[in-house]
Structure 1
Amino acid sequence: MLGAARRDARAFQALYAATSPKLFGFALRILRKHELAEEALQDAFVSIWHAAGTYQASLAAPMTWMAAIVRNKALDILRRAGNAPDIDAAQFDVEVMNNIEDTGPGPAQSLQASTEARALAQCMAALERAQRQAIGLAFFHDLSHSEVAQQLALPIGTVKTWIRRGLAKLKTCLAREGL
C-alpha cells in the first residue's frame, strides 16, 4: 500500500496480484455477473491507485479499506442499472468481511485449480497403465518407491524407472497445456 501511495507501479502491481482475487469474489457476490464484477474491480483499483496516498492504517486494515471501495463501486453499478439492493448494510459488511478473511480459494483460484486438475487428468490418462498406476500409488497415496514396488510385486528399479519416465511424460504433456 505504501508503494502504491508513492506511485510505484510495481508495488501497485504486487498489491493487485495479492488482493484482486478476493476483491473480485467480493464484487461477484454483490453483482452476480462476471463482467459487472470485473468492471467494479477495475473501477475500484483505479480509485485505489488515486487514493492510496490518503489511506490511513490507523482507521482500517488495507484489505478492509479496499473492500469498502469495491463495495461502493459495485453498489454504484447496481444503482446505475436501477437494481439498488435492499440490504442491511451493517450485516452485509460483516458477512463480506468474514468472506474476505476466509483463507480458502477464491473464484479465480478455484477456476485455475479445476483447469489444472482437468489437464492433469488428461495427461495421466495418456500415460501407460503401469506408469499411471506407479505414479498414482506414489503421489496420490503417498507411498514410497519401495512400498509401490511391494504393492505391485515388482523390483524397485522397475518402479523407479516407470515413475521417472511417467513424470517426464507428464511434464511434457502439461507444458503443452501451458501449465
Structure 2
Amino acid sequence: MQNQAEIQKLLVLCGTHSQTAFEQLYQQASPKLYGTAMRLLQNGELADEALQEAFVHIWHKASEYDPEKGSAFAWMATIVRYRALDIIRREKSQQNRSEAMANEQLALQQGEDFFIHELHVDEDQHLQLLQECLKALDSQQRKSVLLSYYYGYSHSEMVTRLKRPLGTIKSWIRRGMESVRECMQR
C-alpha cells in the first residue's frame, strides 16, 4: 500500500467525484481494508460484501472526510468496520429468525399452541382467537403472515426463503391479513 499522504490525496480527489482517483484508491487500499473485514467476519463472501458496501459509502461521503480529524486510511477502516458489524448483526438476526421458525414448525407438528406456549399467556382470549384465526388460513398465507409480522422478514428475504415471486408473497400476506381481521372481528 502506498503511503498515507497518497491515500489521503486520492480520498480528497474522490470527494470531487474523480473516478480515476476512486479506482486508484480502491486498488491501493482495498487489500488492507479487506483484511479488516475478514478479521471481523471470518467469511470471504461476507468480507467482500462489507468491502463493497464500504467503498460505495466512501464514494458518496468522501467529500465529508476531514484530514484534520485523522488519517484517510483510519477513516476508511472505520467505515469498513461499521459495515462488517452491520453484516454480523444482520446474519445473527437471520439465524435467530431461522431457528425460531424451525422451533415453531416443530411445535406446530407436535400440535402445540405456538403463541400461547411461547408467551405463557394461557388466559389471553385475544391471543387464543388470533391463534385460531391463523390456523384457519391457507398454509402459504399463514407462513407468509408469520414470516412478515412475527419474525420480521422483509419481502425480499421471503422471496428467497419461499422461492415465490414478490407479487405472490404480497398477495398471500394481504389476503391472510384480511382474513385474520375478519376473523378477529367476529
TM-score by length of 2: 0.44
Relative to total residues, which structure has the larger helix share, 1 or 2? Answer: 2
TM-score by length of 1: 0.46
